[in-house]
Amino acid sequence: MAASMPWEALPAGMAAGLRRHLSAVVDDTIATIGREVAAYARPLEGAFGTGLRRGVEVALGRFLTLPGTDLPALGEADRDVYVQLGRGEMRAGRSLEVLLQAYRVGARVAFRHFALSAREDGLPADGIVPLAEAVFAYIDELSTASVQGYAAEQSARADERSWRRRELLDLLLTNPVDPTAVAEAAPAVGWVPPERAMAVLVPTDRADKLRTRLGTDALIAEHGDAVVAIVPTPLDKHGRARMTTNLGGCAAVIGPSRPMTAVAASLRLAGAAARLQSAGILAPDPLFADEHLGALLVHSDPDLLDDLIARRLAPLESVRPSTRERLAHTLLTWLQHHGQRQQVADTLNVHPQTVSYRMTQLRDLFGSDLDEPDARFELEIALRATSTWTRAASLL
């Protein structure tokens, strides 16, 4: 039956001979790593030196308990040493490849020493291959533990950074904003608060690669059931065009520019525009709220708007639904073109005489309201706000 662990095939008595050379192997391993791994080529002082020596000593000491056994490469405590080494590399800002290179160098040095010692103690030549397999399989296990530690630290850092971004966003949305608190919290996420900014609201399921789309100057964090980005302004027309291109397909809604202490107002207007977008009243993607201020104002109080629609469009209730929609469209077009019959006809693609006929019907329904400026103004608001006649009719 094949051995389940590479070191199980090694003579159990080998460890005693190898242990005699342990101190020399540790010293040679550390010295060689210092020469061949550039990131570790520095005095072995303080926590760095202590950590490196402990890592080598634990690694070699643990290996010498394995020959002739089916023990796992690392016990729980030993494994934690290499998990923590991986975490330490992440904290130090080094690539994990630096540590893995050190492991490979250590494996080569250790194998050379162990092979010479084992041959001196009578290990046959064909025993060198199993020794090599055991050493390098063991180093693979150390490497795996450190990879997991490095990834765990990355995840923890990402979670902490995400939490700090959400905390900073909450500070910006507090009323009133505390500029000192914002200034103190911003450096922790690498963000410089601008004088003015606008809020960008994106559905969570559309926020993939949002940092790439908006650039490193944006503060991006989850907020409620969406993702919010605070983007420095002002934007010139080229900047707005780039944002339009970069955010296309994200269903993003961009609030107007505001002073940093009033960015909550930008988010509030972006939220209002997003609701109109969801209702099908506003369609652009991305949607700039400041390009639709009239719609936002008109729809800012749904109850008031419903009352206006019901009051001003009530005369149309007296005609058939098919006629209702045709007359409503004609009336809105007539108001938009200031009663210019030919322009109304061109827009509706009908004969001018048809326009005159419909306007006669409308005058019968609305009477003198069609000549009153205030009434005409409210009629146009009601007709513009009604996306379909079905909705308006349901309110009458």
58 and 32 in contact (C-beta within 8 Å)? no
User: Does 390 share its domain with 309?
Assistant: yes
Where among 126, 156, 186 does a domain terminate? Answer: 156
Cis peptide bond prior to 259, omega within 30° of 0? no
User: Does 48 share its domain with 149?
Assistant: yes
User: Does 237 share its domain with 116?
Assistant: no
Q: Residue 233 forms beta bridges with which residues?
A: 196
User: Does 10 share its domain with 138?
Assistant: yes
Q: Read off the pTM.
A: 0.57
Domain that holds residue 145: 6-156
Tell me the pLDDT of the chain (396 aa) as tens digits. 344 788 988 888 887 878 887 888 888 988 898 888 888 877 666 677 777 888 888 888 888 889 888 899 988 888 888 898 888 888 888 888 988 998 999 899 989 988 888 888 787 877 788 888 999 999 999 999 999 999 988 887 877 888 888 899 999 998 888 989 999 999 988 899 999 999 999 999 888 888 889 988 899 998 888 999 999 988 777 888 999 999 998 999 999 999 999 999 999 999 999 999 988 888 889 999 999 988 888 888 888 888 999 999 999 999 998 899 999 999 999 999 999 999 999 999 999 999 999 999 999 999 999 999 999 999 999 998 875 433 433 333
184 belongs to a structural domain: no
Name the residue type at position 79.
Answer: R
21 and 61 in contact (C-beta within 8 Å)? no
270 belongs to a structural domain: yes
264 belongs to a structural domain: yes
Name the residue type at position 264.
Answer: A
Q: What is the pLDDT of residue 198?
A: 94
How far apart are the two ends of the chain, measured CA to CA in Å?
Answer: 87
User: Does 57 share its domain with 149?
Assistant: yes
51 belongs to a structural domain: yes
Which is it for the CA torsion 137, 143, 149, 150, positive or negative?
A: negative
Distance CA 258, CA 281 (A): 25
User: Does 285 share its domain with 344?
Assistant: no
271: how many CB neighbours lie within 10 A of its CB? 18
178 belongs to a structural domain: no
User: Does 345 share its domain with 292?
Assistant: no
Q: What is the pLDDT of residue 259?
A: 93
- Which CATH number belongs to the domain containing residue 72 in this structure? 1.10.490
364 and 370 in contact (C-beta within 8 Å)? no
Where among 137, 156, 175 does a domain terminate? Answer: 156
269 belongs to a structural domain: yes
27 belongs to a structural domain: yes
Where among 156, 183, 213 does a domain terminate? Answer: 156
- Looking at residue 226, the DSSP 8-state letter turns out to be E
User: Does 59 share its domain with 142?
Assistant: yes
Helix (H/G/I), strand (E/B), else coil: 287: strand
User: Does 277 share its domain with 314?
Assistant: no
Q: Which of 396, 395, 384 is nearest to 298 (CA)?
A: 384
Distance CA 177, CA 170 (A): 10
User: Does 293 share its domain with 306?
Assistant: no
Residues 6 or more apart from 153 whose CB is under 8 A from it? Answer: 86, 87, 90, 91
Task: For residue 216, report the phi and psi dihedrals to the nearest 5 degrees.
Answer: -75, -10
User: Does 22 share its domain with 149?
Assistant: yes
- Which CATH number belongs to the domain containing residue 307 in this structure? 1.10.10.2840
User: Does 276 share its domain with 373?
Assistant: no
Q: What is the pLDDT of residue 298?
A: 85
- Which CATH number belongs to the domain containing residue 262 in this structure? 3.30.70.270
Residues 6 or more apart from 18 whose CB is under 8 A from it? Answer: 64, 114, 117, 118
Number of domains in the chain: 3
| Alpha-carbon dihedral 327, 318, 301, 384, rounded to 10 degrees | 0
79 belongs to a structural domain: yes
